[in-house]
């Protein structure tokens, strides 16, 4: 009732304007999400027998799901700190470092503009051999642009007076940025980390094009490959349960990020 009263108090125009967006979200996100949950509890979508948590148990016990999960987490644990650190350094250099370098700012957007297929082809010329490095490098190279843009925007939004006050108190050099700049842009850094985590789950395209197969070397076999291959095998249940696991993983990571943000904001 309280919700209805609150709803009534809204301007009806607002509600009308929201309807298309809500409808789109409902049709394209909520319904598929519910269906995925449903599929994860049945034996297959042709016979549709309820099997409880069997699919979850099977998927979790599957050695290739474990391998994929491990590789996906490794990508997050190794690449994202490197990516964020690099992005912060570049942003600081661009914002407060050598002035001539600021003109090169646009170059960081280029990786986002070049088609992934071309990038993968070029990367193949650079990297050879059995190593995970090409995928990691490709991920960092591809995503650093957006991170730098976001962080640079946040840095330039800091009031100059704050720096002046800090300098008067004796802060300078790296200490200045460590104590002043970085804490002030912490929400943006957290947002950039979240964005990068989400992007890390989308590294499939680059990896697929680089290796040219649904079965890359074991070190690059991520959750997306696991899901894609099960899709081709018509195993919707493995696909659905691994999607749910991925969702849970992302929620945990988001919560950890928010927790960190809250802690450091204090």
Partner 1 sequence: MNKYISCLIVFFLIIFLFVSCKSTIIDEDEFIEDIFENINMMFETDIQDYDFIYQMKNMVSGVYAFTVSDNGELYFSNWIDEGVVNEIIDVFDLNGNIIDTINLSQFAWDIALDELGISEDELENLTEPITISLDSFLPSSMTIHDNFIYFTERNQFGSTSTRVFYYNIENEELKIITTLESFTNVRNIVFSGNFLYLHGRDVELLQNTNRPHILFGDSVKSVNLITGDIETVFDESPIGIAGMDDDELMVYAYDENEGFYFLKHGTDVRIYNNLRNSINNFYFNMFGDSSIIYSFGDFLILTTLDESDIERELARDLYFLSSKPFVARSGFLFYNTHSGIRRICVREMTLGTVLNMAHTDPGGTAYYTPVPVLPALGIQTRNMSIGYYDLAFRILSGDNEIDIYYLHSQHDISDNIRRRGAFYTLNDIPGIWEYLDAVFPYVRDAALDENGDIWMLPIALDTTLFLYNERLTAEFGIDIDSINTFKDLTFVINDLRERNIPVDSGAQYEWFFDRYFYQIMRNNNGFNRNDFRTMAEFFYDYINFVKGEWSFQNSQFLNANDFAYDEYFVEIDGRRLWDWRGRYLFTPQSLSLSRFNINLALSHEIYDDEMFFEQLKSMYDGTGVYNHIPLNYIHNRYMKFPSISGMAESDITVEFIAVNPNSNNLDEVIEFLTRLIEYQMNLENSFILKDRSTYTDRHYINDVYGILNYKDNFIRFSISSDLIYDDFRAFLGDEITLDEYLNRVEFKINAYLNE
Instruction: Show the site string, 237-256: x = touches partner 1 by CB under 8 A, - = not.
Output: -x------------------
Q: Using the rule CB under 8 A, is 218 a contact of partner 1?
A: yes
Q: Using the rule CB under 8 A, is 58 a contact of partner 1?
A: no
The conformational region for residue 114 under phi > 0 = left, psi -120 to 50 = alpha, else beta, is beta
Question: 155 with 95: CB under 8 angstroms?
Answer: yes
Instruction: Return d(Cα 95, Cα 183) in angstroms, integer.
Output: 16
9 vs 49, beta carbon nearer partner 1? 49
Helix (H, G, I), strand (E, B) or coil at 124: helix
Surface-to-core class of residue 96, CB atoms within 10 Å of its CB (0-12 exposed, 13-18 middle, 19+ buried): middle
Interface residue with partner 1 among 137, 199, 229, 261 (CB under 8 A) is: 229
Choices 44-52, 101-109, 131-139, 258-266 (CB under 8 A): range interacting with partner 1: 44-52
Instruction: Show the site string, 112-151: x = touches partner 1 by CB under 8 A, - = not.
Output: ------------------x---------------------
- In angstroms, what is the minimal distance from the CB of 63 to partner 1? 7
Question: 42 with 236: CB under 8 angstroms?
Answer: no
45 vs 265, beta carbon nearer partner 1? 45
Helix (H, G, I), strand (E, B) or coil at 104: helix
Residues pairing with 42 in the sheet: 50
Choices 105-113, 140-148, 235-243, 248-256 (CB under 8 A): range interacting with partner 1: 235-243
Q: How many helices (H) and strands (E) does the chain have?
A: 16, 0
Rg (alpha carbons) of the chain, rounded to whole number = 23
Here the tokens at position 134 are 């090409």
Instruction: Show the site string, 196-215: x = touches partner 1 by CB under 8 A, - = not.
Output: ----------------xx-x
Interface residue with partner 1 among 56, 136, 139, 236 (CB under 8 A) is: 236
Interface residue with partner 1 among 36, 44, 78, 254 (CB under 8 A) is: 44
Q: Using the rule CB under 8 A, is 258 a contact of partner 1?
A: no
Closest CA to 43 of 258, 237, 222: 237
Chain contacts with partner 1 (rule: CB under 8 A): 44-47, 62-65, 130, 212-213, 215, 217-218, 221, 226, 229-236, 238
């Amino acid at each position: 009732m309280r919700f209805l009263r609150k709803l009534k108090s809204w301007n009806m125009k607002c509600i009308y304007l929201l309807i298309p967006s809500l409808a789109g979200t409902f049709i394209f996100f909520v319904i598929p999400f519910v269906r995925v949950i449903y599929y994860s509890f049945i034996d297959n979508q042709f016979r549709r027998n309820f099997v409880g948590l069997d699919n979850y148990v099977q998927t979790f016990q599957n050695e290739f799901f474990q391998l994929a999960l491990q590789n996906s987490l490794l990508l997050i644990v190794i690449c994202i700190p490197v990516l964020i650190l690099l992005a912060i350094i570049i942003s600081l250099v661009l914002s407060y470092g050598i002035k001539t370098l600021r003109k090169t700012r646009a170059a960081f957007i280029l990786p986002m503009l070049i088609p992934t297929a071309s990038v993968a082809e070029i990367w193949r010329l650079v990297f050879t051999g059995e190593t995970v490095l090409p995928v990691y490098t490709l991920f960092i190279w591809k995503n650093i642009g957006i991170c730098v843009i976001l962080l640079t925007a946040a840095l330039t939004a800091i009031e100059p007076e704050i720096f002046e006050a800090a300098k008067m108190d004796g802060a300078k050099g790296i200490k200045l940025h460590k104590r002043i700049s970085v804490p002030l842009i912490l929400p943006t850094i957290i947002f950039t980390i979240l964005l990068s985590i989400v992007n890390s789950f989308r590294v499939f395209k680059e990896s697929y094009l680089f290796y040219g197969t649904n079965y890359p070397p074991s070190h690059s076999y991520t959750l997306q490959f696991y899901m894609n291959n099960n899709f081709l095998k018509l195993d919707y249940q493995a696909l659905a349960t691994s999607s749910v696991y991925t969702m849970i993983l992302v929620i945990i990571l988001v919560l950890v990020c928010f927790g960190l943000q809250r802690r450091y904001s204090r």
